[in-house]
């Protein structure tokens, strides 16, 4: 794999020379002390906790390799697509390590000084410390190798990206298991690059003496969405069960934007009803204890009362408001779905 | 995917252009919604793409926000239901209408979201009038899921987004 990446045409002969020199210097650094040593196995020290919601990756197809180099479409920065992140190489370099080479292209006409947009605060600075790799075969995220807590990565030359130039630098990662052929590259400012092929470097690097690798398990949390509300009618009495998750944010008694639709529906029916009393009752699930749940459910019922009072046009209506905590579930609290259903505010009135 | 030659061509073109005209980068979008909160009024959300990687393991969401208002606005689509650590973009979720399931972005064992990272000095979250910013997040969804609703806090739902 050709390590040298020719930078895009710089603006002046002097700059062109500088670019050539730094490319040459990069090559020297890589080959200069090329000891092909037999390094002890670091071992992939798994510091992650497995999550119960982790998706199994069995049965998925192998990831297709993309052709390198591959560039970003745009970035989440004010420069947008004027800044380009280019994945140039992902190589096994011995010592159980991978070397990722990334170029950053500045399509503007001003140098970008103090380029920190790809950094991780804890691991580095004007470098690629914020990049991570994903192994789709094991659903794990690889953080850069560190020595004494600092990433094994080179700063961008002069900490800047010169106008009209692609500046390249490298970062080391722990190597994935043998047989892994592609990985995804994640950066702080671009969409992920999927299917980046692993290749073997022409040379091996000496053991950097890295700290234990940090390879994190991923979880993929899901939850159940309940219907905004359910309406029941018995013996001339109407009950709306409004899902608390739709009305309120977690642990809050402040109505959110999603509440309006349900509340307007209830208010509209109260308006056409014969009722002069409306009961509003707040309920929670059984997590936490009464000292929190009872007041919270009451405050939520009160919030609904205030809203309905505003929305209902008909006058002369009295509201009875109460909070019951978890005392009155409509279904069991053993499942996420059940608990979501129990978290509700009910509004009852004569038809 | 850009070849080196294409990059050179682009760069040369940028050098030849007079002034500092930033290319108006308009990605396609498959759906849009407007801000529903006083903080986000004047903002337009566009879902650019929801695509699986070739192994089918992950789905990547690309979405953009455009400021069609007259004031600078900062967005903060943070998650409020789970324990993501410091990740103000973790609130962007996918909803499967059929199974009534909400998919949160992937979380690693340090509780960080696999989505745009809001580390100071990396990304931008402030939108000047007329500006557009594009963000991403990563999910794992069932292989047979075909369409979802994209939920971004403080914006209307974007429905019928296909998984490609």
**A251 in the same domain as A201:** no
Predicted pLDDT at B13: 30
| B5 domain-assigned | no
Say if A205 falls within a structural domain.
Answer: yes
Does A141 fall in a domain?
yes
Q: Is A41 exposed, middle or buried (0-12, 13-18, 19+ CB in 10 A)?
A: exposed
| Residue A77 sits in the same domain as residue A188 | yes
Q: What is the mean pLDDT of residues B143-153?
A: 93
A193: in domain: yes
How close A182 gets to chain B, by Cα (Å)?
10
Residues A103 and A235 in one domain: no
Whether residues A157 and A245 fall in one domain: no
CA gap A263, A281 in Å, rounded? 14
Contacts A186 to B, Cβ<8 Å? 114, 138
Q: Give the domain CATH number at A238.
A: 3.30.1330.60
CB B99 within 8 A of CB A337: no
Q: Give chain A's residues under pLDDT 50.
A: 1-59
Q: Are residues A128 and A48 in the same domain?
A: yes
The domain that holds B40 is classified in CATH as: 2.60.40
What is the separation of C-alpha A322 from the centre of its chain, rounded to a whole number of angstroms? 39
CA distance A105 to A265: 54
Give, rounded to a whole angstrom, the gap between the first and last alpha carbons of chain A.
77
Which residue of chain A comes nearest to B83, CA vs CA? A221
Quote the domain boundaries for residue A85.
Answer: 42-217
**Which pLDDT does position A261 carry in this prediction?**
83
Are A219 and B106 in contact by the 8 Å Cβ rule? The answer is: yes
Q: B96 in a domain, yes or no?
A: yes
DSSP conformation class of B91: T
Give domain status of residue B10, yes or no: no
Q: How confident is the model at residue B80 (pLDDT cuts 50, 70, 90)?
A: low
Helix (H) or strand (E) holding A13: helix A13-32
Enter the tokens of residue A150. 């600092």
**Which residue of A76, A120, A121 is in closest CB contact with B134?**
A76
If DSSP codes are grouped into helix, strand and coil, which group holds residue A346? strand
What pLDDT sits at residue B84?
A: 79
CB B58 within 8 A of CB B141: no
Residue A271: both structure tokens together: 């308006």
Residue-level pLDDT at A7: 43
Does any domain span residue B56? yes
A300 and A197 both lie in a single domain: no
Q: Note whether A92 and A36 are within 8 A (CB).
A: no
List CB contacts (< 8 A) between A82 and chain B: 22-23
Largest alpha-carbon pair distance within chain A? 90
Cβ partners under 8 Å of residue B98, min gap 6: none
Whether residue A211 is found in the same domain as residue A274:
no
The per-residue pLDDT for A3 is 37
The verdict on a CB contact (< 8 Å) between B54 and A195 is yes
- The β-bridge partners of B93 are B151
Within 8 A by CB and 6+ apart from A165, the residues are: A7, A8, A10, A15, A19, A105, A106, B11
**A212 shares its domain with A234:** no
Domain-embedded: residue B80: yes
In a domain, A4, yes or no: no
Please give, rounded to a whole number of angstroms, the shortest distance from the CA of B66 to a CA of chain A.
12
pLDDT digits (tens, 9 = 90+) for B57-70: 899 999 999 999 99
SS3 at position A24: helix
Residues A197, A275, single domain; the answer is no
Share above pLDDT 70 across residues of chain B, in percent, rounded to a whole number: 82
Domain count, chain A: 2
pLDDT at B82: 74
| Residues from chain B contacting residue A63 (CB–CB below 8 Å) | 53-55, 57
Residue ending a domain, among A173, A188, A217, is A217
Whether A77 has its CB under 8 Å from any CB of chain B: the answer is: yes
Q: How many domains does chain B have?
A: 1
Predicted structure pTM score: 0.69
B11 occurs within a structural domain? no
**Which domain does B78 fall in, by range?**
28-162
Which residue in chain B is spatially nearest to A63 when comparing CA positions? B55
ipTM, two decimals, is: 0.83
Q: A199 and A242 in one domain?
A: no
Q: Which of B8, B25, B116 sits opposite A80 (nearest CB)?
A: B25
Whether the CB of A276 is below 8 Å from some CB of chain B: the reply is no
pLDDT tens-digit readout, A203-216: 889 998 999 999 99
């Amino acid at each position: 794999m050709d390590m040298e990446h020719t930078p895009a045409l710089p603006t002046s002969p002097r700059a062109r020379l500088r670019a050539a020199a730094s490319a040459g210097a990069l090559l020297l650094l890589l080959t200069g002390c090329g000891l092909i040593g037999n390094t002890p196995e670091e071992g992939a020290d798994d510091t992650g906790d497995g999550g119960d919601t982790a998706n199994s990756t069995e049965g998925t197809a192998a990831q297709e390799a993309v052709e390198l180099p591959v560039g970003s479409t745009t970035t989440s920065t004010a420069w947008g697509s004027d800044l380009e992140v280019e994945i140039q190489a992902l190589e096994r370099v011995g010592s159980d390590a991978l070397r990722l080479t990334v170029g950053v292209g500045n399509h503007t006409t001003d140098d970008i000084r103090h380029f920190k947009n790809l950094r991780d605060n804890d691991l580095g600075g004007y470098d690629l410390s914020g990049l991570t790799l994903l192994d789709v075969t094991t659903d794990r995220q690889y953080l850069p190798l560190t020595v004494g807590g600092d990433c094994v990565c080179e700063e961008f030359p002069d900490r800047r990206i010169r106008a009209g130039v692609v500046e390249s630098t490298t970062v080391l990662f722990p190597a994935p298991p043998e047989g892994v052929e592609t990985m995804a590259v994640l950066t702080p400012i671009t969409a992920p690059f999927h299917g980046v092929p692993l290749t073997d470097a022409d040379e091996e690097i000496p053991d950097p003496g890295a700290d234990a690798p940090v390879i994190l398990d991923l979880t993929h949390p899901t939850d159940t969405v309940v219907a905004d509300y359910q309406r029941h009618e018995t013996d001339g009495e109407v009950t709306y069960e409004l899902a608390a998750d739709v009305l309120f944010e977690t642990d809050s008694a402040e109505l959110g934007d999603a509440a309006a639709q349900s509340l307007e529906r209830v208010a509209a029916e109260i308006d056409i009803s014969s009722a002069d009393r409306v009961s509003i009752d707040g309920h929670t699930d059984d997590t936490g204890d009464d000292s929190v749940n009872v007041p919270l459910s009451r405050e939520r019922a009160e919030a609904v009362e205030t809203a309905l009072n505003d929305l209902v046009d008909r006058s002369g209506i009295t509201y009875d408001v109460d909070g019951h905590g978890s005392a009155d579930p409509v279904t069991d609290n053993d499942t996420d779905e059940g608990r979501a259903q129990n978290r509700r505010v009910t509004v009852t009135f004569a038809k | 995917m850009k070849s080196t030659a294409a990059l050179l061509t682009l760069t040369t073109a940028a050098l030849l252009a007079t002034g500092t005209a930033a290319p108006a980068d308009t990605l396609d979008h498959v759906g849009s919604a407007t801000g529903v909160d006083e903080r986000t009024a004047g903002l337009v959300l566009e879902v650019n793409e929801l695509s699986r990687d070739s192994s089918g393991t992950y789905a990547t969401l690309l979405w953009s926000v455009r400021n069609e208002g007259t004031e600078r606005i900062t967005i903060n689509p943070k998650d409020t239901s789970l324990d993501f650590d410091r990740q103000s973009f973790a609130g962007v979720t996918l909803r499967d209408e059929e199974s009534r399931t909400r998919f949160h972005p992937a979380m690693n064992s340090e509780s960080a979201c696999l989505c745009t990272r809001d580390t100071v000095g990396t990304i931008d979250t402030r939108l000047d009038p007329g500006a557009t910013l594009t963000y991403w997040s990563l999910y794992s969804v069932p292989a047979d899921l075909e369409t979802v609703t994209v939920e971004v806090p403080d914006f209307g739902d974007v429905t019928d987004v296909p998984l490609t």
